[in-house]
Amino acid sequence: DAGVIQSPRHEVTEMGQEVTLRCKPISGHNSLFWYRQTMMRGLELLIYFNNNVPIDDSGMPEDRFSAKMPNASFSTLKIQPSEPRDSAVYFCASTRTNAEAFFGQGTRLTVV
Amino acid sequence: AQSVTQLDSQVPVFEEAPVELRCNYSSSVSVYLFWYVQYPNQGLQLLLKYLSGSTLVESINGFEAEFNKSQTSFHLRKPSVHISDTAEYFCAVSGAAGGYNKLIFGAGTRLAVHP
């Protein structure tokens, strides 16, 4: 398996623009997590899905953030409109029940 | 609710010296515990895990961690570190709440190994 695949690896966008981050989890995994990593706040859990259903989105910072998982092999994290304070590395991770999580390489987002 | 506390944000150490990175957790349910390592500009990689069974778990590169339920700790140790161990280390807890495993990370400990 190729592991968790995230795209793009880097994204630079202007404030106010819509940004969509993508994730393909490992086949057979039933849970998917979105994290944001910054120097100030460390690794924050934004939202996680189980069997494509959002279970806990309490970490989503604002209504500008939304996440979907239309099927078991794809998830998106959207920010609309983006702001400079959204600049961070966004990680996607997937796991089977009661096992360890595998992480993608992350998307480095810069909002100017 | 679950939480993870990593007591040291940075740990400097000389090469070949022993090191301990501390991790304490809180959870109202049974937990699984993990240590992940992150090298610069990379994602997180699993270092070792405790799911059940023996409370002492080991990694392939000489790290070990011991699950201590009474002290709610899962400290990471290595008897002799190498320059290549320089990285950020994250402790994580996953607990079944309502049938779903929520994976929470500590703030991380930056290990700096000096020659």
- State whether A42 and B105 contact (CB < 8 Å): yes
Which phi and psi angles does A13 have, rounded to 5°?
Answer: -145, 160
| pLDDT number for residue A21 | 98
Residue B97 confidence (pLDDT) above 60: no
SS (H, E, C) chain A: CCCCEEECCEEEECCCCCEEEEEECCCCCCEEEEEEEECCCEEEEEEEEECCEEEECCCCCCCCEEEEEEECCEEEEEECCCCHHHCEEEEEEEECCCCCCEECCCEEEEEC
Give SS3 for B85.
helix
- State whether B105 and A43 contact (CB < 8 Å): yes
| A-chain residue closest to B48, CA distance | A100
- State whether A102 and B90 contact (CB < 8 Å): no
Among A62-71, B21-30, B71-80, B84-93, whose mean pLDDT is lowest? B21-30
Residue A11 confidence (pLDDT) above 80: yes
Q: How confident is the model at residue B98 (pLDDT cuts 50, 70, 90)?
A: low
- State whether A48 and B104 contact (CB < 8 Å): no
Q: How confident is the model at residue A100 (pLDDT cuts 50, 70, 90)?
A: confident
Q: Per-residue pLDDT averaged across A58-80, rounded?
A: 95
| pLDDT number for residue B35 | 96
**CB distance B50 to B67 below 8 Å:** yes
Of B43, B102, B105, the CB nearest to A106: B43
Interchain contact B110–A (C-beta under 8 A): no
Interchain contact A60–B (C-beta under 8 A): no
Amino acid at A102: F
**CB distance A23 to A34 below 8 Å:** yes
Residue B108 confidence (pLDDT) above 60: yes
Q: Express as a percent the part of chain B with pLDDT over 70.
A: 96
| pLDDT number for residue B96 | 63
**CB distance A34 to A103 below 8 Å:** no
Chain A positions touching B90 (Cβ under 8 A) are: 43
| pLDDT number for residue B99 | 55
Interchain contact A94–B (C-beta under 8 A): no
Residue B22 confidence (pLDDT) above 70: yes
Distance CA A33, CA A91 (A): 8
| pLDDT number for residue B51 | 85
| pLDDT number for residue B52 | 80
Chain B positions touching A7 (Cβ under 8 A) are: none
- State whether A33 and B45 contact (CB < 8 Å): no
Furthest CA-CA distance within chain B: 48
Residue B92 confidence (pLDDT) above 70: yes
Interchain contact B43–A (C-beta under 8 A): yes
Residue B29 confidence (pLDDT) above 80: no
Residue A108 confidence (pLDDT) above 60: yes
Q: Per-residue pLDDT averaged across B82-100, rounded?
A: 84
B105 Cα to chain A: minimum distance (Å): 7
